[in-house]
């Protein structure tokens, strides 16, 4: 019996060794797969992340540091001033507060009008029209023109074109000093911005409208629903994800408006249309108070990030409820 048990033990030892070898090979294979995946991930994502770090992250955190200094953007003399810049902005810098209010008012108006016009254009080009493809091109074309060029073109239209039309027709609307008065200059910026951005918003709404099941619309028509009821109770809930995206884009565009503001009015007359982005640019690069400009930019970033985050969370919640 002893010899037999010894033989059995001798047979079991190689089997155990084989199992250990196989399990070790499996571990090595899994490790190699993980390393391969990590290598491929680093190969594809690494260059993009490196570029993002150099172009975005490093300048952002550097700017946060400068927001607490009195650097003029030119010399190497940098002094830490703490929260003095922020105290100055909220207590003494009346133009910054005025620009903040103008930008907020402009943002509300531009968001509403751009989305209404964009959605209306989307409804138009999704109808069975022979010219719908041409209309899509025409409506989207202003978005391809740069903001600076667009501002100068519309500056000529407001100053020369409208004046000529007003003289010929006698219509008081065309005879207004569009860029020479604070109220009309504000609406001039709104008109140009809506004209430029509505085409892009139209494309997003068009894609959403084309995904609305026609069976639901046909069933609603059979049940006696009119166009308004179909739009309100079927179309709008179905395009809610597109509304979320369009609101996010228009909020971001409106708060960050710069090129149209610079080329159309340059903040005039008498800084009555100076938006926040232009105010920050003027403070940092014209007045050579870079630290103060960075403080404004940091406040601007926090406000825009907070508003867009709240907007996305709220509209996403509405999507689920609908």
Q: Tell me the per-residue pLDDT of 21-63, one tens digit each, with 9 for 90 and over.
A: 556 666 667 777 888 888 888 888 888 889 999 999 999 999 9
Question: Which own/partner contact pairs does 85-88 have at CB distance under 8 Å and 24+ positions apart?
Answer: 85/291, 85/292, 85/294, 85/295, 86/295, 86/299, 88/292
Rounded CA-CA distance 223/220 in Å is 5
Q: What is the pLDDT of residue 208?
A: 92
Give yes or no for a cis peptide into 269 (omega within 30° of 0): yes
* pLDDT single digits (tens) 123-148: 999 887 788 888 888 999 998 888 88
Measured distance CA(218)–CA(224) in Å, rounded: 10
Q: Where are the alpha helices (DSSP H) in the chain?
A: 2-52, 58-66, 84-91, 94-125, 132-140, 147-156, 162-169, 182-210, 214-222, 227-230, 236-238, 240-255, 259-264, 276-281, 290-321
Q: Where are the domains of the chain?
A: 25-66, 85-321
pLDDT (tens digit per residue) in 144-188: 888 888 889 999 999 899 989 988 888 888 888 889 888 899 999
pTM listed for this prediction:
0.83
Of 276, 292, 314, 312, the C-alpha closest to 106 is 276
Task: Quick: pLDDT tens for 52-98.
Answer: 999 999 999 999 999 999 998 888 888 999 999 999 999 999 999 99
The yes or no reply on domain 85-321 and CATH 3.60.20.10 is no
């Amino acid at each position: 019996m002893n010899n037999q048990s010894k033989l059995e033990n001798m047979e079991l030892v190689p089997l155990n060794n084989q199992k250990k070898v196989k399990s070790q090979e499996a571990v090595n294979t899994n490790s190699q797969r993980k390393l391969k995946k990590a290598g491929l991930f680093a190969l594809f994502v690494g260059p993009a992340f490196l570029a993002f770090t150099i172009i975005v992250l490093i300048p952002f955190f550097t700017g946060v540091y400068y927001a607490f200094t009195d650097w003029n953007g030119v010399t190497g003399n940098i002094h830490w001033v703490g929260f003095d810049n922020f105290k100055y902005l909220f207590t003494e810098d009346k133009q910054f507060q005025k620009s903040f209010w103008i930008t907020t008012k402009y943002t509300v108006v531009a968001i509403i009008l751009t989305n209404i016009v964009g959605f209306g254009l989307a409804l138009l080009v999704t109808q069975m029209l022979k010219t719908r493809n041409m209309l899509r091109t025409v409506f989207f074309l202003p978005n391809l023109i740069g903001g600076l060029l667009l501002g100068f073109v519309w500056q000529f239209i407001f100053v020369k074109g409208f004046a000529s039309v007003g003289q010929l027709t006698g219509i008081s609307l065309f005879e207004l000093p569009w860029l020479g008065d604070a109220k009309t200059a504000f609406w001039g910026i709104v008109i140009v911005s809506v004209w430029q951005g509505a085409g892009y918003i139209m494309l997003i709404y068009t894609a959403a409208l084309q995904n609305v099941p026609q069976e639901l619309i046909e069933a609603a028509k059979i049940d006696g629903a009119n166009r308004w009821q179909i739009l309100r109770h079927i179309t709008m809930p179905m395009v809610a994800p597109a509304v979320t995206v369009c609101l996010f884009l228009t909020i971001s565009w409106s708060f960050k408006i710069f090129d149209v503001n610079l080329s159309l009015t340059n903040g005039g007359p008498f800084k009555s249309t100076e938006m926040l982005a232009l105010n920050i640019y003027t403070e940092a690069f014209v007045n050579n108070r870079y630290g103060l400009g960075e403080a404004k930019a940091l406040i601007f970033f926090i406000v825009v990030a907070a508003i867009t985050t709240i907007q996305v969370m709220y509209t996403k919640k509405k999507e689920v409820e609908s």
